[in-house]
Amino acid sequence: MSVAPRQLALALGFDDSFAREDFLAGPSNAAALALIERWPDWPARAVVLVGPEGSGKSHLAAIWAKESGARFVAARALARADVPAQLATGALVIEDMRAGEFDEHALFHLLNLVNEQAACVLISATSAPAGWSLSVPDLASRLRALPLVRLDPPDDALLRAVMVKLFADRQLAVDEGLIRFLATRIERSFAAARAAVALIDAEALRQKRPATRALAAELFRAEAP
């Protein structure tokens, strides 16, 4: 029996918009957005933004960076020798901080310089620093004292709005039926929404079909009524 060769989809690039007007606000991220928009009237020189993957931390950081002139550095790339240069603009975003995956002495030095230079730092993480096991005691107490805001899982309205935006970012116009279907089939998280949209986009391209509820039903092994 011969099998027809599987056609490979051409993966076209697309850009997420991190503009303020494209940030979708809802109850789950209201506190975090309020903190970003409150700057420079922050409760401390350094604050921590905590939320699951894909919850909007990078978008909020980009909004703040545009206003503050902040530079970006990945937490794992922190190095003590580079700290003065990283704070040169007076504002810094430290992205994706995880326990055991960054230089604790570099971060401690950076937090000291933040106060000395009256700079501001936004730290993003997937879990709260209070639960981290750290080897530098003074750093542990310093991080626990920082103001922290959480991005919670989205409600139904925000989840649907996010999926519409994710499809639009891929230049796909979809109807409400597809969005309603997906909202009842995926877990309530931004990561799940992103994965579902990526899957439908890839299969629509591979099969040369529109992104519809029928296609989603096939992919999620559910029957469309």
- Find the domain containing 74 and state its range: 26-150
Query: The tokens of 169 are what?
Result: 């970012």
- Is 132 among the domain residues? yes
What is the C-alpha separation between 196 and 181, in angstroms, rounded? Answer: 11
Same domain, 58 and 129: yes
Same domain, 146 and 162: no
- Is 200 among the domain residues? yes
Same domain, 133 and 75: yes
The pLDDT tens digits of the residues spanning 124-150 come to: 999 999 999 999 989 999 999 999 999
Same domain, 127 and 197: no
- Is 64 among the domain residues? yes
Domain endpoint, select from 105, 130, 150 = 150
Q: Could you give the C-alpha distances from 132 to 77, 102, 103, 127, 154, in angstroms and in order? A: 18, 12, 14, 8, 25
Residues 56 and 154 sit within 8 Å (Cβ to Cβ): no
- Is 45 among the domain residues? yes
Same domain, 106 and 139: yes
pTM, two decimal places: 0.80
For the chain, the domain total comes to: 2
Same domain, 99 and 135: yes
Query: The tokens of 15 are what?
Result: 């850009």
CATH number of the domain encompassing residue 97: 3.40.50.300
Query: The tokens of 83 are what?
Result: 């700290």
| Model pLDDT, residue 15 | 56
CA-nearest of 152, 219, 150 to 182 is: 219
Same domain, 67 and 85: yes
| Model pLDDT, residue 10 | 34
pLDDT tens for the chain, 225 residues long, are 322 333 333 334 445 667 888 888 999 999 999 999 999 999 999 999 999 888 889 999 999 999 999 999 999 999 999 999 999 999 999 999 999 999 999 999 999 999 999 999 999 999 999 999 999 989 999 999 999 999 998 999 999 999 999 999 899 989 999 999 999 999 988 889 999 999 999 999 999 999 999 999 999 974 444
